[in-house]
Amino acid sequence: MRRTMVASVLVAAVAATAGACGGDKSTGETAGGAKEIEVLYRVEPAWPHMEKTLKQAKTQFEAAHKGVTIKLTPVQGTNEVYYTKLALLNRSADSAPDVYLHDTFQVNADVAAGKLAPLDDYLNTWPDWSTQYADSVKQAAKGPDGKIYGVPISTDTRGLWYNKDILTKAGISVPWEPKTWADVLTAARAVKQKVPGVIPFNMYSTKVLGEAATMQGFEMLLYGTPGGTLYDDTQKKWVASSKGITDSLGFVDTIYREGLGPKQADAFDAKLGEKVGLDWFPGGKLAIGLDGAWMSASWTPTSTKPWPQWTEKIGWTPMPTQNGEAPGAVSMSGGWVMAMSSYAKDKKDAFDFISTATNKENTLTYSVSTGDLTPRKDVASDPRYTAANPSVKFWTDLASVTHYRPAYEVYPKVSAEVQKAMEAMVTGSKTPDAAAKEYADALPGVVGGPDKVTTGS
Amino acid sequence: MTVTTVTPPSRPAGSPVLAEEPRRRGGALRRLLPLLPALVLLVIFMAGPILWSLYISFTNETLTGSASVDSRFVGLENFVKLFGDDAFRNSFLLTFVFVIGSAVIGQNTLGLFIALLQRGRGRVVRSVVNGVVIAAWVVPEVVAAACWYSFLSEEGTLNEVLAFLGLSQDWLFTAPMLAVTLANVWRGTAFSMLVYSAALSDVPGDLLEAAAVDGASGWRRFTGVTLPLIRRSILSNLMLITLQTLASFGLIYAMTGGGPGTASQTTPLYMYDQAFRYFEIGYGSAMALVMLVIGALFSLVYLRLIKVET
């Protein structure tokens, strides 16, 4: 009895270890002497779009480049999971992918670590770069040294999506055009009062939702307050405290204290984004959502759960500034680029793949299915781009009021502090003032010293 | 198994004593040689990473950014920060609750209880019970977590049943620590049960009979005869499940992700957050080192207890 038990324990242990050690990988030259380029990207059941685009690009590339194979390596999971996986693979030249999809807010950190290859020499030989990309778009992946480290495949803006039927039922006239934060709260309160069983307002506000909470949530408020910012560009210091920060937290507090937001359990659900897109909006369970331009991707014919009626049921409007201060609306922008690893052995072919993946046809496929805004001029003017999605023009025009995150190396840690403060608003464990003070106290430790912070207006 | 070198009982006076030495050394070498490949692998894949993490816990190493290629030695800075970190203290407390609740109390007593109940039962009963309990142990951690997630979630089985009583709620949100503790008890009890079944089968039946004849009650026989006899098994079992639970990550990560907020964020989860989400691998490793020391302390206490003779 004892011996068999010991044996079975051993077998289990060995099996577990063997499982953990799986995943052998090779890059560069394959056995036959043929070249291989590894491409890393993200995929989720509700987000197969990048995979579709890259498969299309792989076929085109391999037809034009005999002897070079593209190895597509997907990472299953959320953005947060993808960042982690990429950072780990990038630790060593042997495991780093040659080409990867990269969030622009991570570019600076990787440039500082020398993980990315500058693309300027290749871009100069690629006619599309000068003709199809606006100068503002080219900045997306510009390093501190002025070199370009990625070709943009998408950009985005943020604002309010709303369910027309629910707002009408609540007595709010449609099209809804809120001019101040108070207008937004008034509409949410009306929904709570007159349309029971519906969640009046959703904004991402917990740590588990990561950057979505900071960017779609907090920053959409902060950058709409007078002088509100996380980073003072002129002083080159982080803003530890300001009226804008306290007021923004106050808005989140109001949402949750008055029961205008989702239930706590949902607010803390890592899959909240999927719920909003696939369930709450199509199911008429949510009135207003502060979200990204890509929201409609959940409803397009290429989605896992198409909802063709959305164009009639759903409306969109800019997020207003706090008291309607000029320019009257606020938006935040980020985006993704195709970047090349500094470890890539065959940089010429790797760049050829990047330029194939971001050519007009592939960018169009990607933009139409994701609802992301396109960085390319020829795609933007293509009738298929706007025809597929009536909201695209609106989101593209928001670029005139948009802001960019201070995506420096320490930004992810600052973002984590913001999420902590927001979470205290969701649970009600602190007042906005107390949470703002805690943020101010924590900031010097995260950004590298008290001389790197300042007090805002 | 004991390995001793037998010395000849009588040695002629004046013969060289040292002549024995080379042969003995050669013997040791011969025995070590077949172990060498395994030893090398262990050193590379076990000792290597441990030493590396030991080293980087004293540096400001990160996974991205300039510090990832240009890290420097910061001495005890990580540890000073660690002990002043509220989130770490919170995680530490939760880990303690989790280990005591799910391993020392939950798995241990339930395992012993099931093993005791099975004593002297028929073959069929034993195989059915064993099968059911071990099934929970055999399923992969993530699968177990997914089962519990759907059982406890808002529209899950438990709430469907409790709806009649009006008690339904989102358990993973209202009682996350209880949820993960229960799940871990459910999953880990099989191990303790197996250890105790084996130990109990070594308790001589005639001893218990003799005690019964002397008029000892069932409880008295258990505390007076059975427990002292299986004391060593209890302590080894406690040691194993404590260490296992101390490092438990997947189950909690998949069930609650450490949330809501930090309500179920045990140290392994906090460590993961710091090391792989905020890329502070140096700080995360410092935490791992502290956990290692605590695990070692636990084992030392258990080992001492095993050695103490009653």
Q: 3.40.190.10, 3.90.600.10, 1.10.510.10, 1.10.10.10: which CATH number matches A29-156+334-404?
A: 3.40.190.10
How far apart, in whole angstroms, are the C-alpha atoms of residue B97 and residue B173? 18
How far apart, in whole angstroms, are the C-alpha atoms of residue B125 and residue B128? 5
B173 to each of A56, A252, B80, B264, how far by Cα in Å?
Answer: 43, 20, 33, 10
Each of the 310 residues of chain B gets a pLDDT tens digit; together they read 344 444 444 444 444 445 455 556 677 888 888 899 999 999 999 899 889 989 999 998 888 887 888 888 998 999 999 998 888 999 999 999 999 999 999 999 999 999 999 888 888 998 999 999 999 999 999 999 999 998 988 778 888 888 888 777 788 888 899 999 999 999 999 999 999 999 998 888 888 889 988 888 888 888 888 998 999 899 999 999 999 999 899 999 988 888 787 889 999 999 998 888 888 899 999 999 999 999 999 999 998 888 876 5
**Token digits of residue A239:** 């803003």
Binning pLDDT at 50, 70 and 90, where does residue A24 land? very low
How far apart, in whole angstroms, are the C-alpha atoms of residue B211 and residue B220? 9
How far apart, in whole angstroms, are the C-alpha atoms of residue A217 and residue A206? 10
- pLDDT for res B10: 47
Q: Measured between CB atoms, does B64 come within 8 Å of chain A?
A: yes
Distance from CA of B4 to the nearest CA of A (A): 25
Q: Measured between CB atoms, does A46 come within 8 Å of chain B?
A: no
Contacting residues for A346 by C-beta, under 8 A, at least 6 apart? A28, A35, A37, A68, A98
The alpha-helical segments, DSSP class H, found in A101-180 are: 104-112, 120-123, 127-132, 135-138, 164-169
How far apart, in whole angstroms, are the C-alpha atoms of residue B264 and residue B279? 21
* Residue pLDDT, tens place only, A210-248: 889 999 999 999 999 999 999 998 888 999 999 999 999
Strands A68-76 and A35-43 turn out to be parallel
- Best of A209, A409, A420 to substitute, by most chain B Cβ atoms within 10 angstroms, is A409
pLDDT reading at A61 higher than 80: yes
Query: Could you tell me the residue ranges of all domains in chain A?
Result: 29-156+334-404, 158-333+407-455
Helix (H) or strand (E) run with residue B195 in it: helix B176-201
| Contact criterion met (CB < 8 Å) for A265 and B172 | yes
- pLDDT for res B179: 93
* Residue pLDDT, tens place only, A259-287: 999 998 899 888 899 899 999 999 999 99
Is the whole-model pTM more than 0.90? no
**Token digits of residue B139:** 């399923």
To which residue do tokens 């209890």 refer?
B234
| Of residues B76, B77, B99, B143, the one with CA closest to residue B247 | B99
- pLDDT for res B309: 62
Candidates B64, B66, B257; nearest CB to A208: B257
How far apart, in whole angstroms, are the C-alpha atoms of residue B67 and residue B279? 10
How far apart, in whole angstroms, are the C-alpha atoms of residue A77 and residue A135? 32
DSSP state of B84: T
* Residue pLDDT, tens place only, A324-340: 998 999 999 988 999 99
- pLDDT for res B242: 94
* Domains in chain B: ranges and CATH: 20-56 (no CATH), 84-307 (1.10.3720.10)
Q: Measured between CB atoms, does A362 come within 8 Å of chain B?
A: no
Query: Are A162 and A317 a contacting pair, CB within 8 Å?
Result: yes
How far apart, in whole angstroms, are the C-alpha atoms of residue B148 and residue B150? 5
Distance from CA of A12 to the nearest CA of B (A): 9
**Token digits of residue A417:** 């502090």
- DSSP for A180-241, please give it: SHHHHHHHHHHHHHHSTTSEEEE---SGGGTHIIIIIIIIHHHTTSTT--SEETTTTEEEEE
* Residue pLDDT, tens place only, A319-328: 999 999 989 9
* Residue pLDDT, tens place only, A75-130: 998 888 899 899 999 988 999 999 999 998 888 888 988 999 999 999 999 999 99
Q: Do domains A29-156+334-404 and A158-333+407-455 have the same CATH topology?
A: yes
- pLDDT for res A4: 43
Is the ipTM value over 0.90, yes or no?
Answer: no
Distance from CA of B163 to the nearest CA of A (A): 18
Chain B residues in contact with A109 (beta carbon < 8 A): 64-66
Q: Which residue of A has its CA nearest to B137?
A: A12
Length of chain A: 457
Helix (H) or strand (E) run with residue B12 in it: none
How far apart, in whole angstroms, are the C-alpha atoms of residue A278 and residue A296? 10
CATH topology of domain A158-333+407-455: D-Maltodextrin-Binding Protein; domain 2 (3.40.190)
Binning pLDDT at 50, 70 and 90, where does residue A169 land? very high
Candidates A106, A210, A268; nearest CB to B64: A106
| Contact criterion met (CB < 8 Å) for A91 and B279 | no
* Residue pLDDT, tens place only, B242-299: 999 998 999 999 888 887 878 899 999 999 988 888 888 999 999 999 999 999 999 9
Distance from CA of A79 to the nearest CA of B (A): 11
